[in-house]
Structure 1
Amino acid sequence: MAKSAVKFRDTVAAYDRIAGEIRAGRFAPVYLLMGEESYFIDRLAEQLAASILDEAERAFNQIVVYGKDSDAGQVINLCRQLPMMGRYEVVILKEAQQLRNIEKLSLYTQKPSPTTILVICHKEKNVDKRSALYKGCAANGTVFESVRPRDYEIAAWLQQFVRQQGFTIDQKALSMLTDHLGTDIARIDNELHKLTVSLPEGTKRITDADIEANIGISKEYNNFELCRAVVTRDMQRALLIADHFARNPRENPLLLTIMALFGQFRDLFVVNYLRWLARHKGKPFPQDAELMGILRKNNTYVLNEIKQQAALWDNRKVFQVLGLLREYDAKSKGLNAGGAPDGELLRELLLKIFLL
């Protein structure tokens, strides 16, 4: 099967559009919610379950079935039933990827009942887009493809997500969250919910202190501060943070730290290369708006910091640092590490960087 062309930004845009249609009461007869990122699939299914029928109607007309406990024939029979005392019958098929003979659902999706709304939650992978099932859903209903974010995409999404909840978030607090929680959107949502309900009434700005107090991520000892210490050549501060990481390895995995450092030095390399092109090839250095697009940043304060930090590093040394990070990425996965613990590997890596 060909790799999907859908990007994370497409998933977010489609999610917002479909969620808006549901809030407006515009329902499709069939929803195929599919893909690797389960968070958006679950949220849309929950919204549909809460929106189509009122509480009294759900007792009679809303049915939830699970793929591993059913087969396509049983689901089709449920969909062909008439609703009792209401406009719609709602059939929600969860874990559809486990449904026996799932392709036979195409017998229904090619001509769905006008009085039934079928919601198919197909996680872990996509339905084959060449199949009759997919084509029937696309022609007669709504198809949603949920793609997982890449590490560089999560910060922009989280910033927008926080804004939708009625808050703003400081750049350091944002970095602390994304470094600690990675691209696990469900976990981010859960932690952010716990955080926002714990904030004093009237608070609209989330700071690094709030993250430390409510999520347990240190505002002094984190990947954001480590990266800043390294690129500003503050060896004492960097090694102090590394010692803290060594004492708390479960909360500070080496692989995430290496990824954070790699992203930081990759940005320095790009800025320095663009400056070299401007000096030696006569190409104009990009304006801030263009440069933010190149670096995939959405904050001018962060952009200005990167430009200032890049001036401290010759690209030959940056290239050497990137090589060291690749080497220690392999060691963090157990290759040629000699049994050394993560804390020792990180300290060794930092000393090599500062000795360049």
Structure 2
Amino acid sequence: MAKGAIKFRDSAAEFERLTAQVAARRFAPVYLLMGEESYFIDALCEQLATTILDEAQRSFNQITVYGRDIDAGQVVTLCRQMPMMGACEVVIVREAQQLRGLDKLALYTQKPSPTTVLVICHKEKSVDKRSALYKSCAANGAVLESVRPRDYEIGPWLQQFIAARGLAIDPKALSMLTDHLGTDITKIANELHKLVVSLPEGTRRITDADIEANIGISKEFNNFELCKAVASRDMARALMIADNFARNPKEHPLLLTVMALFGQFRDYFTVNYLRWLSRRRGQPFPSDAELMRTLRKSNVYAVNEIKQFSAAWDNRKVFRILGLLREYDAKSKGINTGGAPDGELLRELLLKIFLL
């Protein structure tokens, strides 16, 4: 596990490492699955629950308990008992953040039974890394700390998630998914599962049409198209999309739209600054590969669009637009809205951007 502060990519990498070990039937005696992001916790717990024992053995030797219904002493007792008609027992503690006397589990995890696999699912926050429980789980078992992704981390993860299923995804389709579903990777994974099983046999690339047909996100009215309309200064198109958003506010939260626009203009500001810096210093403009790393983009297509559109936006204007977007980010959270609905606020924001 990575040292220091754990990032989303560390969680994703550790999840992949542990799932590969479980698939190879290399089991640790203790698993501490903890953190704010529930997807990796639930997915690894489910894999352990269906892999360690076969279906017949689970009836006798697999026990699932919930933290609100039990205390640490009872969990330790379950872990110390011998398996029935088998070589191994599995004890799964769900919602362990509600377990009474959680720290007392360290009395067991410091010396776990060789015939038991204990899985501790601790959601909402991580176990204190200074505690005896954490230290003993790390020393004698496996720890997965699952942190929530930032908005810019979703795209690369999603591409890898899709690639692992033998598919690729078009940039617009990727943007439609991330803009619509935000950073809820459980929801994204569920929607993608439904999409993959409904795709025609032989499909190798997911398009915007597939997203529209199977997930219900319009390929004409979405944040990707709105950002593109703003970038090209197509006021009529942008306001038409905003009107559609206003009629469907639950599907198009103002907060996600503001985040998408902020990310776009932040990238313009960065590229314009690098362009100015290269001229000032007489140095070459950064390569596409360098820009991909700087802007945290996963494909050259996105970088080329940013370079193309940013040239039409002066950074003094971009700076003022970023200020507007911060103001409307607060309004999207109910601050100083004057009672205006999201649709009206979005139209107001767009007009201010175009009239700057």
| Pairwise same-fold verdict (TM > 0.5) | yes
2:100 maps to what in 1? Answer: 100
1:66 maps to what in 2? Answer: 66
- Runs (4+) of structure 1 exceeding 6 A deviation are none
2:197 maps to what in 1? Answer: 197
2:244 maps to what in 1? Answer: 244
2:317 maps to what in 1? Answer: 317
| 1:228, distance to aligned residue in structure 2 (A) | 0.4
2:138 maps to what in 1? Answer: 138
| 2:199 partner letter | L
Q: Which SS does the other structure have where 1:153 is aligned?
A: helix
1:30 maps to what in 2? Answer: 30
Q: 2:295 matched to 1:306?
A: no
| 1:283, distance to aligned residue in structure 2 (A) | 4.0
Distance 1:25 1:331 in 2: 51
| 1:233 partner letter | R
Output aligned runs, 1:121-132, within 5 Å. 121-132=121-132
| 1:326, distance to aligned residue in structure 2 (A) | 1.2
Structure 2: tracts of 5 or more residues without a match = none
Q: 2:255 matched to 1:265?
A: no
Between the aligned residues of both structures, percent identity stands at: 76
Distance 1:57 1:327 in 2: 58
| 1:112, distance to aligned residue in structure 2 (A) | 0.5
1:226 maps to what in 2? Answer: 226
| 1:223, distance to aligned residue in structure 2 (A) | 0.3
1:120 maps to what in 2? Answer: 120
Distance 2:113 2:284 in 1: 60
2:75 maps to what in 1? Answer: 75
Q: Which SS does the other structure have where 2:313 is aligned?
A: coil
1:165 maps to what in 2? Answer: 165
1:254 maps to what in 2? Answer: 254
2:41 maps to what in 1? Answer: 41
2:291 maps to what in 1? Answer: 291
Note the alpha carbon deviations across 1:68-113, whole angstroms, 9 max, x for none. Answer: 1101111101101111121111111111111101111111000011
Q: Which SS does the other structure have where 1:284 is aligned?
A: coil
Q: 2:206 matched to 1:206?
A: yes
Distance 1:15 1:74 in 2: 29
| 1:331, distance to aligned residue in structure 2 (A) | 2.0
Note the alpha carbon deviations across 1:247-297, whole angstroms, 9 max, x for none. Answer: 111111111111100000000000000000011133432111111011000
| 1:199, distance to aligned residue in structure 2 (A) | 1.3
Distance 2:75 2:323 in 1: 54
Q: Which SS does the other structure have where 2:122 is aligned?
A: strand
Distance 1:336 1:66 in 2: 42
| 1:318 partner letter | V
Note the alpha carbon deviations across 1:114-166, whole angstroms, 9 max, x for none. Answer: 11110111111111111111111111111110011011100110111011112
1:277 maps to what in 2? Answer: 277
CA RMSD in angstroms, aligned pairs only: 1.2
TM-score by length of 1: 0.97
Distance 2:145 2:9 in 1: 11
| 1:127 partner letter | V
| 1:13 partner letter | A
| 2:323 partner letter | G
| 2:89 partner letter | E
Distance 1:335 1:84 in 2: 59
Distance 2:9 2:138 in 1: 20
**How many residues are paired up?**
354
